[in-house]
């Protein structure tokens, strides 16, 4: 995997990304460009656990992302990457499909597991 | 209320929908039978938990979306403790579903989401029958207490709360009998949601279960 700082820097430069953070699944923050990373970190951990449980109950095999959709359109996405979780805050006025495509593309480059292809 | 969620099913790519209640579990569903109600109960419970956690971080939270390779799950809280979720094909139209959720939410707020008997949730009468006829025997209660203590070693301080909730759910699904203990363990495993910890919990419980069986 690329260094956390480098990876975070590249994600943050994608059009439509307002901020991001990378954490380990145990909650340790490896890098961030958002305020209050601890708040996001706790939510990401819980999101990861719940999505794993939902995945098992629906018979699915891989979670691409989980998103918290907000009325102000600053949606928050959680992407599982092996033992890590990437959180991305979306800019309100952006092409969501483009942003998700670019983030998934970068994840595919650094990830050693899961599916790298982008839908 | 089944006809209201049936309207969601008309949307291209929507496989079906389900309304869950934090106390009663699945209230109504039009999902294909492959999505078993007990599984959807678990999905609903996790979504409710996730939604509450999301609400603590974001006041303006509307929906939660889980994008899996095979399916997409979209959830909307109708009111505290009650949630609607749809299971969709990955090619579904998200904007159209969001709009339909908004309309359905309006219907709900107007009180047009009247419950009918289609969902066949357990009635108060039936629930009280379970609690009187299906009382937990003393030896089984002792076993459950031991299991709860062991879960504390795996999950920490929240274990007691989680265990009680799962046991409560388990007792509503059938007689609280040792013959159904694996069902309970399976439900606890879903709460643990970590294979390493699940294995560790099983290891801790094995001698306790064996000892109970021997009497």
According to the model, what pLDDT value does residue A10 have? 94
Residue B63 and residue A119: Cβ atoms within 8 Å? no
The DSSP result for B105-137, as a single string, is HHHHHTT-----STT-PPPHHHHHHHHHHTPPP
CA distance B123 to A63: 36
As beta bridge partners, residue B74 has: B65, B86
Kindly state whether residue A117 falls inside one of the protein's structural domains: no
According to the model, what pLDDT value does residue B133 have? 47
Residue A68 and residue B71: Cβ atoms within 8 Å? no
Kindly state whether residue A17 falls inside one of the protein's structural domains: yes
Domain containing A65 equals 4-110
Tell how strand A84-90 and strand B14-21 pair up. unpaired
pLDDT band at A114 (very low <50, low <70, confident <90, very high): very low
Count Cβ atoms below 10 Å from residue B15 Cβ, excluding itself: 18
CA distance B42 to B154: 20
User: Six-digit token pair at A43?
Assistant: 């939510």
Could you give the percent of chain B with pLDDT greater than 90? 30
Helix, strand, coil shares, percent, chain A, to 5:
40, 30, 35
CB < 8 Å from B in window 21-60 of A = 39-40, 42-43, 46-47, 49-60
Chain A nearest C-alpha distance from B212 (Å): 29
Instruction: Tell me what ipTM this predicted complex has.
Output: 0.89
User: Six-digit token pair at B87?
Assistant: 């299971």
Place of tokens 């949606």: A75
Ranges assigned E (strand) in chain B = 14-21, 25-29, 61-68, 72-79, 82-88
Q: Is the pLDDT of residue B110 over 60?
A: yes
Q: Read off the pTM.
A: 0.67
| Mean confidence (pLDDT) of chain B | 83
Kindly state whether residue A118 falls inside one of the protein's structural domains: no
Kindly state whether residue A115 falls inside one of the protein's structural domains: no
Distance, CA of B180 to chain centre = 18
Q: Which of B43, B56, B90 faces A119 most closely, judged by CB atoms?
A: B90
CA distance B17 to B44: 11
Choose, out of A40, A44, A50, the residue to mutate when testing the contact with B (most B CBs < 10 Å). A50
User: How many domains does chain A contain in total?
Assistant: 1
According to the model, what pLDDT value does residue A2 have? 56
Kindly state whether residue A62 falls inside one of the protein's structural domains: yes
pLDDT band at B152 (very low <50, low <70, confident <90, very high): confident
Give the CATH number of the domain where residue A81 resides.
3.30.450.30
Kindly state whether residue A119 falls inside one of the protein's structural domains: no
Q: Residues A20, A7: contact at Cβ < 8 Å? A: no
pLDDT band at B52 (very low <50, low <70, confident <90, very high): very high
For chain B, domain boundaries? 2-109, 124-214
According to the model, what pLDDT value does residue B120 have? 42
Average pLDDT over residues A55-77: 93
3-state secondary structure of A110: helix
**Residues of A with CB below 8 A from B13's CB?**
none
Residue A69 and residue B87: Cβ atoms within 8 Å? no
According to the model, what pLDDT value does residue A112 have? 58
pLDDT band at B127 (very low <50, low <70, confident <90, very high): very low
According to the model, what pLDDT value does residue B39 have? 92
CATH assignment of B2-109, among 3.90.700.10, 3.30.450.30, 3.40.50.300, 3.90.1010.10: 3.30.450.30
CB < 8 Å from B in window 76-105 of A = 76
According to the model, what pLDDT value does residue B113 have? 64
Average pLDDT over residues B180-187: 88
Average pLDDT over residues B79-89: 93
The DSSP result for A43-96, as a single string, is HHHHHHHHHHHHHHHHT---EEEEEEEETTS--EEEEEETTEEEEEEEPSSS-H
Lowest mean pLDDT among B135-139, B154-158, B179-183: B154-158
According to the model, what pLDDT value does residue B40 have? 94
pLDDT band at B169 (very low <50, low <70, confident <90, very high): confident
Q: Which of B42, B71, B90 faces A53 most closely, judged by CB atoms?
A: B42
């Amino acid at each position: 995997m690329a260094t956390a700082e480098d990876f975070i820097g590249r994600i943050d430069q994608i059009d439509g990304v307002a901020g991001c953070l990378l954490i380990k699944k145990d909650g340790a923050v490896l890098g961030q460009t958002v305020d209050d990373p601890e708040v996001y970190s706790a939510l990401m951990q819980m999101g990861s656990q719940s999505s794993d449980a939902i995945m098992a109950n629906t018979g699915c095999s891989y979670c691409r992302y989980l998103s918290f959709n907000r009325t102000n359109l600053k949606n928050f996405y959680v992407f599982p990457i092996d033992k890590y979780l990437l959180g991305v805050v979306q800019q309100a006025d952006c092409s969501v499909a483009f942003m998700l495509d670019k983030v998934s593309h970068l994840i595919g480059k650094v990830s050693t597991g899961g599916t790298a292809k982008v839908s | 209320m089944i006809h209201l969620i049936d309207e969601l099913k008309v949307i291209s790519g929507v496989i079906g929908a389900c309304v869950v209640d934090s106390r009663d579990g699945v209230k109504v569903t039009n999902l294909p039978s492959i999505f078993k109600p007990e599984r959807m109960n678990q999905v609903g419970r996790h979504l409710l938990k996730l939604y509450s956690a999301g609400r603590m971080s974001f006041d303006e939270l509307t929906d939660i979306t889980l994008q899996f390779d095979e399916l997409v799950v979209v959830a909307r809280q109708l009111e505290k403790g009650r949630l609607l979720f749809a299971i969709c094909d990955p090619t579904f139209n998200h904007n159209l579903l969001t709009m339909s959720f908004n309309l359905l939410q309006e219907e709900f707020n107007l009180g047009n989401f009247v419950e009918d008997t289609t969902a066949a949730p357990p009635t108060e009468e039936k629930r009280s029958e379970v609690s009187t006829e299906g009382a937990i025997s003393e030896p089984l209660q002792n076993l459950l207490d031991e299991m709860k203590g062991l879960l504390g070693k795996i999950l920490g301080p929240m274990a007691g709360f989680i265990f009680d909730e799962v046991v409560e759910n388990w007792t509503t699904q059938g007689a609280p009998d040792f013959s159904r203990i694996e069902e309970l363990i399976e439900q606890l495993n879903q709460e643990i949601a970590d294979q390493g910890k699940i294995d560790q919990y099983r290891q801790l419980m094995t001698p306790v279960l064996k000892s109970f069986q021997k009497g």
